[in-house]
Chains A and B, each alone.
Chain A
Amino acid sequence: MSHFVNIKTTIKDGNALVAALKRMGFKENEIEVSVNKAKDLYDYMGRLQGKQANVIIRQAALKRMFDYPTNDSGFRLVNGTFEAVMDDGYLRHVPKWMEKLTQFYGVEKAKAELTRKRIAYVEDLTDKNCPRLLINNI
């Protein structure tokens, strides 16, 4: 049986979060963004459980990525930081989902910050397949 669990994160930038979710493999139309008003999340039976989020991945998209019956998942903006609202069963079955998201969020946030400061960078992968940013003139 699946439950919603709330997980604290350090994610503050909604655009970088969406970019990270795309990098996880979700399509643009699978990511619902409603910054001003949180929307309801449904469990795997289509029932409301009193959970809401501002950035949402519906269960169909999650199931496409990993075939496991799951609740909707999302990120609720709480005092300027996004808190993950996830299906605990899904997290148990998809190894390191949150770690992967955090990794991709970091890359996207750093790229956004470098772009904002007009600092050029090159992105590649390490031999362990970790994203790497090289900044030559800083």
Chain B
Amino acid sequence: MGQMVLIFNEDGTVYKETRGFKGKACTKKTQFIEEALGIAGNKTFKTEYHEPEDQKETLRQ
């Protein structure tokens, strides 16, 4: 389970930040909100994004 923060700016843009995900899980699990909002903006990925998803599972065990 991860966290997502959405901030709706005065100019109509939306800032999305995710926490607690590794790899592409953040994109997979939160993409529905982008699709609902019709967002297609700039994205900046944290270093966790580039870590393999299964690494998280291994570390948890």
Measuring CB to CB, which residues of chain A are less than 8 angstroms from any residue of chain B? 10, 12, 96, 98-100, 102-104, 106-107, 109-110, 112-114, 117, 126, 128, 130-138
Contact = CB atoms under 8 A, between A and B. Distances in A.
Going nearest first, the 10 A-B pairs with the smallest beta carbon separation are A102-B12, A113-B36, A10-B38, A135-B4, A133-B6, A137-B1, A131-B8, A106-B8, A132-B7, A103-B8
Interface of B: 1-12, 14, 29-30, 32-33, 36-38
Contacts of A10: 37-38
Contacts of B12: 98-99, 102-103, 106
A133 B5 contact: yes
A117 B32 contact: yes
Given A138-B1, A138-B29, A130 B37 contact: no
23 contacts: A96-B10, A99-B10, A99-B11, A103-B9, A103-B10, A103-B11, A106-B14, A110-B8, A110-B33, A112-B36, A113-B33, A114-B33, A126-B7, A128-B10, A131-B7, A133-B4, A134-B3, A135-B6, A136-B1, A137-B1, A137-B3, A138-B1, A138-B2
